[in-house]
């Protein structure tokens, strides 16, 4: 009888072990659930804190933006002081010394060139000085004035125009007196030329440079390759004449410029332009075959095509 008791105990212990293990597993799972719930609550608290900070930051930013807009409106209503525009003022002197055999008072045969052609007088010469004033009118317009001070103490207006700075679609509108955008050198002032005088074609056909009173519209293509297209309509001033005295214009021009870079040391630009002018009683002084001074007068229409190409290596 005593020999059967240990066996019975072992059997009872075997049945109790799974119950104990199962109870331990339940306790561990409950502990894990509690820890997971605590972590979840901590993350939710952090998220709520971040959302509160974000709302506070947005509120501060909105308030600052409203204050900035109010300050901008107030500034726009404020009167402009005498030096608020702060214009750029430049005085350029172009003195020269010339030694040559050619007569300074020469003319181009069979061309009614007019204007200031030729290389100028021999010896020391103050040449043409230039006074330039430029400034931004506001955030939409830019103005420029260029006065030419000749060596005979006369003053003339080379350019005086207003130009837009913020038109949509890469458009720019210019109005006033300005050098035309035709060709390559025409729009450049004399002090920027590589030589003391302009090429012969400019002197013969344009009286050195063509400037007019009118409007100009240009479009700059939004591409890596430089592409500019423009059109002009004006009074019809050329050389020393003042153009037609009538309501409609007397000159029109269109031009296109294309250019780009080749490597790091080369660049190029090509252009095609068309100019149409209808002068009235355009006079020019000339010398006939007998050496007598005569005055020529022309009224009619003149058309000219220009093609230019420049390659630069630096």
**What are the strands, taking DSSP E only, across 140-225?**
141-149, 155-164, 171-179, 211-220
Q: What percent of the chain has pLDDT over 70?
A: 79
Q: Residue 283: enclosing H or E segment and its boundaries?
A: strand 282-287
pLDDT digits (tens, 9 = 90+) for 256-285: 999 999 999 999 999 999 999 887 777 777
Q: Which residues 6+ apart lie within 8 Å of 9 measured at CB?
A: none
pLDDT digits (tens, 9 = 90+) for 146-195: 999 988 888 999 999 999 999 999 999 999 999 999 999 999 998 888 88
240: closest CA among 155, 127, 113? Answer: 113
Helix (H/G/I), strand (E/B), else coil: 202: helix
Query: How far apart (Å, rounded) are the C-alpha atoms in residues 101 and 311?
Result: 32
Q: What is the dihedral of CA 191, 196, 202, 203, to 10 degrees?
A: 120
Could you tell me if 176 and 162 are in contact, meaning their C-beta atoms sit under 8 angstroms apart? yes
Tell whether pTM > 0.75.
Answer: no
Q: What is the dihedral of CA 113, 118, 124, 129, to 10 degrees?
A: 50
For 206-239, b/e burial (b = at least 16 CB within 10 A) is bbbbbbbbbbbbbbeeeeeeeebebebbbbbbbb
Could you tell me if 122 and 106 are in contact, meaning their C-beta atoms sit under 8 angstroms apart? no
Q: Any idea how long the chain is? A: 314
Residues of the chain by 3-state class (helix, strand, coil), percent to 5: 25, 35, 35
pLDDT value of position 227? 97
pLDDT digits (tens, 9 = 90+) for 53-101: 888 888 888 887 777 776 655 544 445 444 456 789 999 988 888 887 7
Could you tell me if 115 and 207 are in contact, meaning their C-beta atoms sit under 8 angstroms apart? yes
Query: How far apart (Å, rounded) are the C-alpha atoms in residues 305 and 273?
Result: 6
């Amino acid at each position: 009888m005593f020999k059967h008791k240990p066996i019975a105990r072992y059997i009872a212990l075997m049945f109790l072990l799974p119950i104990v293990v199962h109870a331990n597993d339940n306790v561990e799972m409950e502990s894990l659930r509690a820890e997971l719930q605590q972590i979840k609550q901590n993350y939710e608290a952090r998220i709520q804190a971040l959302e509160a900070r974000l709302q506070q930051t947005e509120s501060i930013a909105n308030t600052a933006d409203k204050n900035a807009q109010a300050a901008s409106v107030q500034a726009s209503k404020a009167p402009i002081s005498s030096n608020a525009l702060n214009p750029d003022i430049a005085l350029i002197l172009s003195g020269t010394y010339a030694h040559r055999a050619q007569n300074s008072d020469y003319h181009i045969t069979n061309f009614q060139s007019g204007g200031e052609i030729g290389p100028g007088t021999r010896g020391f010469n103050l040449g043409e000085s230039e006074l330039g004033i430029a400034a931004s009118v506001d955030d939409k317009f830019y103005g420029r004035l260029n006065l030419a001070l000749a060596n005979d103490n006369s003053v003339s207006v080379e350019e005086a125009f207003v130009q837009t700075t913020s038109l949509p679609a890469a458009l720019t509108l210019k109005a006033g007196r300005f050098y035309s955008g035709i060709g390559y050198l025409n729009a450049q002032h004399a002090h920027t030329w590589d030589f003391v005088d302009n090429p012969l074609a400019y002197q013969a056909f344009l009286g050195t440079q063509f400037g007019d009173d009118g409007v100009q519209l240009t479009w700059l293509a939004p591409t890596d390759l430089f592409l500019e297209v423009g059109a002009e309509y004006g009074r019809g001033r050329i050389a020393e004449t003042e153009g037609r005295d009538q309501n409609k214009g007397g000159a029109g021009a269109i031009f296109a410029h294309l250019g780009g870079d080749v490597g790091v040391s080369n660049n190029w630009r090509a252009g095609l332009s068309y100019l149409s002018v209808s002068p009235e009683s355009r006079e020019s002084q000339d010398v006939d075959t007998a050496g007598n001074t005569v005055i020529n007068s022309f009224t009619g229409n003149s058309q000219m095509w220009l093609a230019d190409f420049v390659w630069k290596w630096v």
